[in-house]
């Protein structure tokens, strides 16, 4: 029987680098697109995909919608040739500016059934601070256009933790709730090294809210979205019933995935692999740009699967865990689990162990680092 596989394609180009973003994406490099797509195709063709059935494809970035339709067609053709495709979900990330009717219709006819739009905020002042090249009107228009041309499964990304008060951010969420979207990914702003925001912060020129307000923003958004029909299925991800992201769920449930393109990660046969971050090196030699970063032993697998599972609201099935690893988590992590149960940060229900609601999600990083 063929094994399930989940495919990620990284498109490392943006029109303009956002000052907070540390993802591998190059600005002012759009003239490399043709060569990049050729390299991607080479890398895909070089992969021995015969034993796999692909369930989801995710074009992420960067800004994948810098690609022309002909580029996407070629990439999909290469995937079709390399794998047995049984696609349940095919997503492409986009910025609002690129959601134009002809392009959207073409994406739909190529088989994309999910669109992830980087809205970030519905307030123009905040969008300016974030250095975005679109305004809130562009985002609303993008969502309406995508919906009109058949995208029923629209996700938006929202950032918080800069230029927000509780009431302004609540206003943004209220606004989002009235739009024809099915999924919201929320991002607490993190200040990453080698970004403009990092520099500004070092020089005392970036005004950030205190941790207390950021925590309150998170707790408010959880309550608001949960109350209004968006189920929180993961720490930061919310969806209408039936619209959880199948691709992202594969990461959190420890499925095997393969990434093609600059900086893309893969997890297969207990190995973590990663493609080079260097665009030039990749274009020169895409089939020799991947390195094994880590080979996971049994203990690593147990820890990682437990931690990834705890990101999900439903947590980890204790029977299933035992079946897979022969390990009883409650014995394996006896002291730590009983500590978090006593503190009210974990719960066990119906033979599942999970973090106990939003207050526990809020401190999830501290909990995970104790489990490592």
Ligand X SMILES: C[S@@+](CC[C@H](N)C(=O)[O-])C[C@H]1O[C@@H](n2cnc3c(N)ncnc32)[C@H](O)[C@@H]1O
Is 61 one of the binding residues for ligand X (CB under 6 A)? yes
Q: Which residue is nearest to ligand X (CB)?
A: 118
Which residues, 6 or more positions from 148, have their beta carbon under 8 angstroms from its beta carbon? 101
Indicate which of ligand SF4, ligand X, none lies near residue 65 (CB less than 5 to 8 Å, by partner kind).
Answer: none
Please say whether the beta carbons of 83 and 54 come within 8 A. Answer: yes
Indicate which of ligand X, ligand SF4, none lies near residue 157 (CB less than 5 to 8 Å, by partner kind).
Answer: ligand X
Is 23 one of the binding residues for ligand SF4 (CB under 6 A)? yes
Scanning the structure block, which residue is given the tokens 């390990």?
327
Indicate which of ligand SF4, ligand X, none lies near residue 17 (CB less than 5 to 8 Å, by partner kind).
Answer: ligand SF4
Is 21 one of the binding residues for ligand X (CB under 6 A)? yes
User: Binder to ligand SF4 among 5, 7, 9, 14 (CB under 6 A)?
Assistant: 14
Total residues contacting ligand X by CB under 6 A comes to: 16
Is 17 one of the binding residues for ligand SF4 (CB under 6 A)? yes
Enclosing H/E stretch for 107: helix 101-110
Please say whether the beta carbons of 263 and 11 come within 8 A. Answer: no
- Residue 57's closest CA among 1, 120, 107? 107
Is 121 one of the binding residues for ligand SF4 (CB under 6 A)? no
Smallest gap from Cβ 23 to ligand SF4, in A, equals 5
- Residue 261's closest CA among 237, 232, 286, 241? 286
Is 262 one of the binding residues for ligand SF4 (CB under 6 A)? no
Is 18 one of the binding residues for ligand SF4 (CB under 6 A)? yes
Indicate which of ligand SF4, ligand X, none lies near residue 189 (CB less than 5 to 8 Å, by partner kind).
Answer: ligand X
Strands of 47-162, DSSP E: 52-61, 84-94, 114-120, 154-160
Is 63 one of the binding residues for ligand SF4 (CB under 6 A)? yes
Is 95 one of the binding residues for ligand X (CB under 6 A)? yes
Compute, in degrees rounded to 10, the torsion defined by CA atoms 372, 184, 66, 144.
180
Total residues contacting ligand SF4 by CB under 6 A comes to: 11
Is 127 one of the binding residues for ligand SF4 (CB under 6 A)? no
Is 63 one of the binding residues for ligand X (CB under 6 A)? yes
Which residues, 6 or more positions from 34, have their beta carbon under 8 angstroms from its beta carbon? 71
Please say whether the beta carbons of 133 and 94 come within 8 A. Answer: no
Residue 263 or 276: the one with the smaller Cβ distance to ligand SF4 is 263
Half-sphere exposure of 94 (CA within 13 A, CB side): 25
- What is each CA distance from 72 to 47, 140, 143, in whole angstroms? 18, 25, 21
Site residues, ligand SF4 (CB under 6 A): 14, 17-18, 21, 23, 25, 61-63, 95, 118
Q: Which spans of this chain sit near ligand X (rule: CB under 6 A)?
A: 20-21, 23, 61-63, 93, 95, 118, 120, 157, 159, 187, 189-190, 192
């Amino acid at each position: 029987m063929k094994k399930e596989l989940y495919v990620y394609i990284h498109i490392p180009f943006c029109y303009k680098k956002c000052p907070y973003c540390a993802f591998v994406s190059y600005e002012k490099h759009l003239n490399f697109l043709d060569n990049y797509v050729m390299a991607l195709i080479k890398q895909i063709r070089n992969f021995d995909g015969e034993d796999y059935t692909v369930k989801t494809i995710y074009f992420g970035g960067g800004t994948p919608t810098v690609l022309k339709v002909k580029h996407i067609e070629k990439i999909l053709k290469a995937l079709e040739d390399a794998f047995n495709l049984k696609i349940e979900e095919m997503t492409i990330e986009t910025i609002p500016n690129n959601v134009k009717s002809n392009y959207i219709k073409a994406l739909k006819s190529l088989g994309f059934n999910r669109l992830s739009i980087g809205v970030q905020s519905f307030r123009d002042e905040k969008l300016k601070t974030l250095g975005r090249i679109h305004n809130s009107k562009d985002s609303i228009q993008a969502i309406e256009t995508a919906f009109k041309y058949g995208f029923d499964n629209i996700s938006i990304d929202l950032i918080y933790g800069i230029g927000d008060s509780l009431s302004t951010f609540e206003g943004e969420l209220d606004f989002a709730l009235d739009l024809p979207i099915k999924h919201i990914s929320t991002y607490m702003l993190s200040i990453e090294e080698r970004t403009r925001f990092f520099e500004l912060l070092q020089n005392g020129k970036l005004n950030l809210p205190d941790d207390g307000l950021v925590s309150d923003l998170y707790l408010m958004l959880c309550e608001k979205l949960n109350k209004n029909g968006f189920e929180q299925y993961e720490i930061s991800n919310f969806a209408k019933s039936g619209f959880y992201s199948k691709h992202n769920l594969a990461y959190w449930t420890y499925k095997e995935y393969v990434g093609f393109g600059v900086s893309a990660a893969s997890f297969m046969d207990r190995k973590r692999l990663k493609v080079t971050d260097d665009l030039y090196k990749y274009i020169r030699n895409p089939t020799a740009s991947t390195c094994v970063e880590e080979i996971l032993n049994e203990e690593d697998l147990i820890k990682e699967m437990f931690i990834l599972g705890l990101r999900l609201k439903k947590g980890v099935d204790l029977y299933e865990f035992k079946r897979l690893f022969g390990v009883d988590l409650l014995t394996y992590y006896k002291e730590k689990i009983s500590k978090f149960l006593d503190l009210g940060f974990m719960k066990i229900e119906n033979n599942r162990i999970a973090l106990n609601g939003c207050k526990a999600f809020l401190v999830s990083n501290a909990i995970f680092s104790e489990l490592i």
